[in-house]
């Protein structure tokens, strides 16, 4: 059995244990669907939900480690669920489409355009 904060650090979801601890206390990490404390021990077979910004992972614990190793080794400690992987990829695709569909200015506004923008802001 390993503490959840050590496991999150060893699997390279967070750069430091203190950062992992902070996110656990904020409720960004759930084990088997329930909030937990940093000292909670996890076992092989537990399901961990990790939320980082807009991204959310749901992973199954395959192995335990208290030591942080290379990324290749860290990836063998967990397996992302199919539903989590699909929803994460869908969100990434949606974000890309949103980014490419938003109009981008060709350059800085001219003096006349700046004055029009300022008029619009003052009307509010």
Provide the number of structural domains found in the chain: 1
Task: Give the model confidence (pLDDT) of 46-70 as tens digits.
Answer: 999 999 988 999 999 999 999 999 9
- Separation between Cα atoms, residue 27 and residue 50, nearest integer Å: 9
Helices (H) and strands (E) in the chain, counts: 5, 7
* Burial environment of residue 78 by CB neighbours within 10 A (0 to 12, 13 to 18, 19 or more): buried
Q: What is the domain range of residue 45?
A: 2-123
Q: In degrees, to the nearest 5, what angle opens at C-alpha 95 toward C-alphas 89 and 98? A: 140
Task: Give the model confidence (pLDDT) of 69-121 as tens digits.
Answer: 999 999 999 999 999 999 999 999 999 999 888 888 889 999 999 999 999 99
Q: What pLDDT, on the 0 to 100 scale, is given for residue 62?
A: 96
Give the CATH number for residue 47. 3.10.290.10
- Does the predicted model carry a pTM greater than 0.85? no
What's the Rg (C-alpha) of the chain?
Answer: 21
- Separation between Cα atoms, residue 12 and residue 51, nearest integer Å: 14
């Amino acid at each position: 059995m390993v503490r959840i904060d050590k496991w999150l650090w060893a699997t390279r979801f967070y750069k430091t244990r203190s950062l992992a601890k902070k996110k656990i206390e904020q409720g960004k990490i759930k084990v088997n669907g329930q909030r937990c404390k940093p000292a909670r021990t996890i076992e092989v077979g537990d399901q961990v939900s990790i939320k980082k910004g807009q991204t959310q992972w749901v992973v199954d614990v395959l192995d335990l480690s208290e030591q942080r190793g290379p990324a290749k080794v860290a990836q063998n400690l967990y397996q992302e669920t199919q539903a989590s992987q699909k929803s994460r990829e869908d969100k990434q695709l949606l974000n890309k489409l949103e980014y490419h569909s938003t109009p981008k200015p060709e350059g800085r506004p001219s003096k006349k355009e700046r004055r029009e923008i300022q008029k619009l802001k003052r009307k509010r």
